[in-house]
Amino acid sequence: MKLPGQAPQKSPPTSGTTNSTPLPRRGDVLNYVFLFAREAQAGRDEGVKARPVMVMAVVGRRVTVIPLTTKGDDKPASSLAIPAPVASAMGVGGNTGSSLVPGELNAFEWVGHDLRPIDKTGSFLFGRCTPGFFATALDACLHIKPLSRD
């Protein structure tokens, strides 16, 4: 089932542009310099380090991602633990300390300047989330109370 804003199963290269990098798909796990809300509030305009993020939505060329923590540190109470088999599929190993942070999302135009290659091939794709866990993560994001910035 294709949901609104979901890229096609096999994302073709974008046409009419010099950028031939295919759009990501929901559930893709990318290497990205994620800017947390607390970092932005402290005056930063770029995240501290590259980390795995999962693509939650793709609308046109706008991509929304959620951060993963892989070391078990710096996890808010609202974090969602990633089961070891899912973490392996995502390309972040079977680390039992991995989790998603549903209360934090970044959005950017594809291909953003905060993507970082993982290896010498230039790929920034770690792996892909399983469909069942993606649904769990999406549900967790939808039930987080938004932070009022007014």
What's the pLDDT score for residue 111? 86
> Domain 28-142 - what CATH class?
mainly beta
Beta bridge partners of 107: 64
Lowest pLDDT segment from 3-7, 21-25, 34-38, 137-141: 3-7
User: Residue 60 above 60 pLDDT?
Assistant: yes
With a threshold of 0.85, does the pTM exceed it? no
Residues 48-57: tens digit of each pLDDT: 889 999 999 9
Mean pLDDT, the chain, rounded, equals 80
User: Residue 18 above 60 pLDDT?
Assistant: no
Rounded to the nearest 10°, the torsion over CA 86, 89, 93, 97 is: -20
Which has the higher per-residue pLDDT, 17 or 58?
58
User: Residue 27 above 90 pLDDT?
Assistant: yes
Place of tokens 């996890």: 75
Rounded mean pLDDT of 114-139? 93
Count Cβ atoms below 10 Å from residue 87 Cβ, excluding itself.
Answer: 25
Residues 97-125: tens digit of each pLDDT: 889 998 899 999 998 889 999 988 889 99
3-state percent helix, strand, coil for the chain, nearest multiple of 5? 15, 25, 60
Domain-wise residue ranges, the chain: 28-142
User: Residue 39 above 80 pLDDT?
Assistant: yes
Which has the higher per-residue pLDDT, 93 or 99?
99
CA distance 50 to 53: 9
